[in-house]
Structure 1
Amino acid sequence: MEPTNNDVIAIALPKGRLLTPILELFEGIGFPCVKVFSDSRRLIYEDRDRQLRFLILRPADIPTYVERGAADMGIAGKDQLLEQRRDVYEPLDLRFGACRLVVAEPAELHKQDDPHSWSNLRVATKYPNLAEAYFSRKGIQAEIIKLTGSLELAPLVGLAERIIDLVETGQTLKENGLVEVEEIVKSTARLIVNRASLKTKYRRVQDLVEKMRAQVEAHTAGARA
């Protein structure tokens, strides 16, 4: 008998830098089938035996898919969750994909700049809500320019004096002549769950959550040893 939609658990996974540790996580809990995404362009895979459906999406789209029930579960960066403020359940910090959201500016500007004297700024970012909240807390008037990529270019061509962007090592900033000024928030990958699915598919969802939790704890303990 074919599984119904109510039987299947749909899990949204992000393209990009988080995919490799996610595939390792799922392999660790006994789902090596997700490796199909590592060397192909397919966007969906169904494991009929386990009644699982995996979706590969743009990272920024995953909170929407989960909130609206197109996916029962998903993995998203904390930065996206804070920016989008979607109504989803967040049961687990997966403790990988660590990065930081920072304010950065050109090195030449940094030599004479004092963040305590900021009053009116033009800032380019992919995170307008977090940027606005950050400057509002500081009482700073800021014009927020939303971009979707190549933020490092904005100060170089005069579109904005500063940027707010996600960094891991900061190397990309350095290569483009930018200097980190202040950190706004730290981010790691988080497991998120649709609130209705948590009720209607509770046992299966909770089983997956606990398997991932045990794998994360085991990996953390191994790293400390």
Structure 2
Amino acid sequence: MLTIAMPKGRIFEEAAELLRKADYQLPDELDNSRKLIVEVAHEDLRFILAKPMDVATYVEHGVADLGIAGKDVMLEEERDVYELLDLGISECYLAVAGLPNTPMNEVAPRIATKYPSVTSSFYREKGEQVEIIKLNGSIELAPLIGLADRIVDIVSTGNTLKENGLVEYEKIKTVTSRLIVNRVSYRTKAKEISSMVERIRAII
């Protein structure tokens, strides 16, 4: 049996649809299940439903053979896993945003983000020194309450930025979801994993 860690929400829905197109018979109730571990015995698959940032951790430590994770998570977490396929689903991008017509503080600019590692690298490559403030949710609040000059966050439609009166300043990187694998599983379950990769590759 292959164990696959997947995040709930949009990535899960699109990944489940991808697997169905690859001729995996997944039950419809999988999409609405409140369970955190779901077995699909007739396909020899087990799904762990996790927070997006935790998927790569489960795969690295071997509690999941495979995982479906956004490239943003892979860049931020730098986990010791193999990246097998760009699934091309859940496309979005990392961007710098803030209040319109507002210059950054020249003395000690502050950037709020869920992605401190990616953000730090981005500004270091630009030769700019900034203070990174790590937040876990509602990043858009930071410029509104004066906590930060800018935010770095995932942008999908841009509606959340607009609704909060923010504008995009720079695009950092396009993000899609990737199929990742545990290094040991890649050897011990090579046949099953190769079969899944070929079936998915055939329809992307």
Alignment TM class, shorter chain as reference: over 0.9
How many residue pairs get aligned? The number is 204
1:55-204 aligned at under 5 Å gives the runs 55-109=48-102, 113=103, 120-204=108-192
* Percent of residue pairs bearing the same amino acid type: 49
Q: Over aligned residue pairs, what C-alpha RMSD do you find?
A: 1.5
Distance across 1 between alignment mates of 2:67 and 2:93 = 21
C-alpha change, 1:34 and 1:80, in structure 2 (3 Å) is farther
Distance across 1 between alignment mates of 2:28 and 2:56 = 23
- Per-residue Cα deviation, 1:159-199 (whole angstroms, up to 9, x for no partner): 11110000012111111111100111110011001111000
Q: CA deviation at 1:118?
A: 5.7
Q: CA deviation at 1:119?
A: 6.2
- Asked if the contact 1:103–1:181 (Cα under 8 Å) also holds between the matched residues in 2, the reply is yes
Q: CA deviation at 1:52?
A: 1.5
Q: CA deviation at 1:37?
A: 2.5
Would you identify which runs of 4 or more consecutive aligned residues in structure 1 move more than 3 Å? 117-120
The alignment's TM-score, normalised by the length of structure 1, stands at 0.86
Is the radius of gyration larger for structure 1 or structure 2?
Answer: 1
Instruction: Specify the code of the residue in structure 1 equivalent to 2:127.
Output: G
Instruction: Specify the code of the residue in structure 2 equivalent to 1:203.
Output: K
Unaligned runs of 5+ in 1: 1-7, 217-225
C-alpha change, 1:149 and 1:94, in structure 2 (3 Å) is same
Instruction: Specify the code of the residue in structure 2 equivalent to 1:10.
Output: T
Instruction: Find out whether 1:21 has 2:14 as its counterpart.
Output: yes
Instruction: Specify the code of the residue in structure 2 equivalent to 1:161.
Output: D
C-alpha change, 1:119 and 1:180, in structure 2 (3 Å) is farther
C-alpha change, 1:209 and 1:118, in structure 2 (3 Å) is farther
- Asked if the contact 2:25–2:43 (Cα under 8 Å) also holds between the matched residues in 1, the reply is no
Q: What does residue 199 of structure 2 align with?
A: 211
